[in-house]
Amino acid sequence: MVCLVARQGREFQRYSRSTGGRLVVGCIPYKFSINCPDDDLIHAMKVLVISSQKGYGMMFPKGGWESDETLKQAAYREALEEAGVQGNLELRLGKWRHKSGAHSVVKESVMFPLNVTEELLHWPEMGVRQRRWVSVAEAMEGCKHQWMREALDRLVRRLSCSLHLKSASVARNPFVED
């Protein structure tokens, strides 16, 4: 049995030595539709967005990196708490500095791709957040954070390159069956 309670408070949060802002970690949960051809990545790919706790805008799961966890553990935790998904965390997409909040504090955020393998029916923040699978185009249009759109763009480019390399390798290999 897994405990489905979100962490509360900021007493274990990590802060940047250079900016004083919170260190944030998150992920872009994604999956592929089985109804689209492999070479149509943009249309086959869906990303999971969540509502903010304040209810406006869509974003990807993210939150503070706490002192008792690694970056990857924090990304897994945020995906579970905020979006109710689990999966395979991949190589990080990058690190961004951005202003946040009414006081324009500079935060540092790291994002990872999460290839979703399981969607939970119940998750810790299901009462305060909504989740929705959307196309890449919808996420680009609806996400209010520029740095999250940049992370999504990096993910799409990475997956596109990977798909093209895989296709080229299969086409050149006479031992691979169709």
pLDDT digits (tens, 9 = 90+) for 8-46: 556 778 887 888 788 899 999 999 977 655 556 677 899
3-state helix/strand/coil string of the chain = CCCCCCCCCCCCECECCCCCCEEEEEEEEEEECCCCCCCCHHHHEEEEEEECCCCCCEECCEEECECCCCHHHHHHHHHHHHHCEEEEECCCCEEEEEEECCCCEEEEEEEEEEEEEEECCCCCCCCCCCEEEEEHHHHHHHECCHHHHHHHHHHHHHHHHHHHHHHHHHHHCCCCCC
46-104, pLDDT tens digit by residue?
999 999 877 667 899 999 999 999 999 999 999 999 999 999 999 999 999 888 766 67
Residue 164 pLDDT > 60: no
Domains of the chain: 23-171 (3.90.79.10)
Tokens 């994604």 identify what position? 30
- The pLDDT score that the predictor gives to residue 173 is 45
105-148, pLDDT tens digit by residue?
888 999 999 999 999 999 999 999 999 999 999 999 999 889 99
- The pLDDT score that the predictor gives to residue 103 is 66
